[in-house]
Structure 1
Amino acid sequence: MSSEEFEKLHEIYKSLYDEVKLMPERAQRCQGEERKRIVRDFDERVSEAEEMLQGLEQELFGAPSSFRTPMSTKIRLYRRDLAKLQREIRLSATPGFSSHIGDGSQGIYASQNDQSTHLQSQRALLIQGTESLNNASKSIERSQRIAAETDQIGTDIIEELGEQREQLDRTRDRLVHTGENLSRSRKILRAMSRRLVTNKLLLSVIIIMELAILAGVVYLKFFRSRQ
């Protein structure tokens, strides 16, 4: 709803109403063509006022309920006031209209006004019901859109979890292979360690044997030659 447009239409209506509410009394004081001219002007101004009220009702479609409800009631009252002025102008435009007949006509017009007010009330209720239905439809559309987005997010998460599972499986396989390689490496290191110890022992034995031989040679060379 455009508050500026609503205020503009409201001001135009009040200006028109201020103008037409004086016409029944003027018509009652006039005669002949002057009275007919006033009645024609009255009908034109009332038609314009009705258009303003229709515009106000259309502007109320997008208004908050806290503002729409009292303004709808006020528009119904505006229509009732216009209907009252229309009755008055018709009575004033009828020459020789007696007060007794006038009272009967007022009863008829009052009944018609009550029917018109009831129809306007039903129309306002229909407008509010239509708006509520539109709001409910929009809410359902938003819910469906959110559900679709949630479903898409869930699908993306499932796909991502599947990819992460594949990555974990590949990592586990690599760890298994790495463990097997480490096990083989440990076996090789243990075998090399045993060979190294064996070689050290053999080297020690060879050194001891060489020392023993050397000692024997020295003994034979020096001590045996002296004897």
Structure 2
Amino acid sequence: MSEAFEGYERQYCEISASLARKCTAASVLQGEKLKQNVLEIKSGIDGGEALIRKMDLEARNHQPSVRAGLLAKLREYKSDLNNLKGTLKRVSTGNAQQGMREELLEAGMADTLAEYADQRSRLLRTTERQNQTTDRIRDSHRTMLETEDLGVSLLHDLHQQSQSLLHAHDTLHSVDDNVGKSRKIMGAMVRRMDRNKWIIGFIIALVVLAILVILYFKFVH
């Protein structure tokens, strides 16, 4: 519910309560005082109708789920205003005191006024409950948005961590390749050293053999 609608609603409830009191007071008036009071009530009713039109325009700008509740409240306000119009019509026609007595006897005006007061009380309580529900919906919506932002942030962090893991995996793969190459190089070097050892051993053996041959011919001959 918008703040504008709530403001119009409060103004209407105040006007409705004031008009009900004026209708009650007008029922015992006569002459010029009655006419003046009737004019004031008509002016108040016009103000109430203007507020209802504003609330109607404001309600139709909301989403369907919210609009339905606001229009239901508007129907109650329109019914309340129609009742006030009927009361004004009965008060303003003929002798006010006689009309009041006839209405009390025939339609139970006192009960009607009590019903008006009870209806306004119910409207105010309903408005309060709907305002509380709207606040809870707003809080839930804000929590949902905060949760959504948190989820987006977590997904972003997970994406960054995933990229870091992929980069680490590529680095480890590169290190693996380098280690493999190093092992191959070391193996080649070891084989080369082994071959050189055999070559050196063979050369030493040849040198020893040559020395032995030389010594043999030297001492024998």
> Higher relative CO (CA 8 A, sep ≥ 6), structure 1 or 2?
2
TM-score (norm 2): 0.49
Higher-Rg member (1/2)? 1
